[in-house]
């Protein structure tokens, strides 16, 4: 698929996204009020979402990043999720919230949950801007979801295609229609 040759359709404007993140930030701040919150953000796709989300939290939070990859230059998961940037510390006593751009097959989130479990946190939850439940390959329901979307390839606001378009401030879907 060459997305430059396809019609794009805006799914969520910058304003839609920021309004929803404001709500999520309020909810997470309330839920983690008396807990040691530790956000683990999955690079690269979630860097924009994470930056906006954490600025809507009014509670203390530690933030770190790990790098996951599974897509290469295609629009389908390769099925093999690799973790390349690591968390060195023990997570005992922390309530971990994994932040990612999107849950699609669920393979990435599952792999990261397994990886972090070994570091002994008090609990692990997940927060994603977008959820594409139709594509799930395993049972996984994210705890916090910005928007649930149909089975479309989406780009922008951190989400990439061929390592481009991450800087676009809104989320668009690539249609089947030629330009």
Q: Which stretches of the chain bind ligand IMP, using CB under 6 A? A: 42, 45, 70-71, 77, 81, 100-108, 153-155, 159
3-state secondary structure of 130: strand
In terms of CB distance, is 29 or 153 closer to ligand IMP? 153
Q: Is 104 a catalytic residue?
A: yes
Q: Closest approach of Cβ 15 to Mg ion, in Å?
A: 24
> Choosing among Mg ion, ligand IMP, none, which partner's interface includes residue 29 (Cβ < 5 to 8 Å by kind)?
none
Q: How far is the CB of 95 from ligand IMP (least distance, A)?
A: 22
Structure tokens at 165: 């378009």
* Number of helical (H) and strand (E) elements in the chain, helices listed first: 3, 9
User: Catalytic: which of 52, 100, 104, 131?
Assistant: 104
Which of Mg ion, ligand IMP, none does 107 bind, CB closer than 5 to 8 A by kind?
Answer: ligand IMP
Q: Does 45 bind Mg ion (CB under 5 A)?
A: yes
Q: What is the DSSP letter of 106?
A: S
Residues serving a catalytic function are: 104
Which parts of this chain interact with Mg ion (CB under 5 A)? 45
């Amino acid at each position: 698929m060459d997305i430059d040759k396809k019609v794009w359709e805006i799914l969520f404007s910058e304003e839609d996204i920021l309004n929803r993140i404001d709500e999520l930030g309020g909810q997470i701040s309330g839920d983690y009020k008396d807990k040691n919150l530790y956000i683990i953000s999955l690079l690269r796709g979630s860097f924009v979402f994470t930056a906006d989300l954490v600025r809507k939290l009014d509670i203390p939070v530690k933030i770190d990043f790990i790098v996951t990859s599974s897509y290469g230059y295609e629009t389908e998961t390769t099925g093999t999720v690799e973790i390349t940037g690591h968390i060195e510390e023990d997570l005992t006593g922390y309530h971990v919230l994994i932040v990612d751009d999107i849950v699609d097959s669920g393979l990435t989130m599952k792999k990261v949950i397994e990886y972090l479990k070994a570091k002994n946190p008090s609990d692990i939850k997940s927060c994603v801007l977008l959820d594409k439940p139709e594509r799930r390959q395993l049972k996984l329901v994210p705890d916090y979801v910005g928007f649930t979307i149909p089975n479309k390839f989406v780009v922008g606001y951190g989400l990439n295609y061929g390592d481009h378009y991450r800087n676009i401030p809104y989320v668009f879907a690539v249609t089947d229609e030629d330009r």
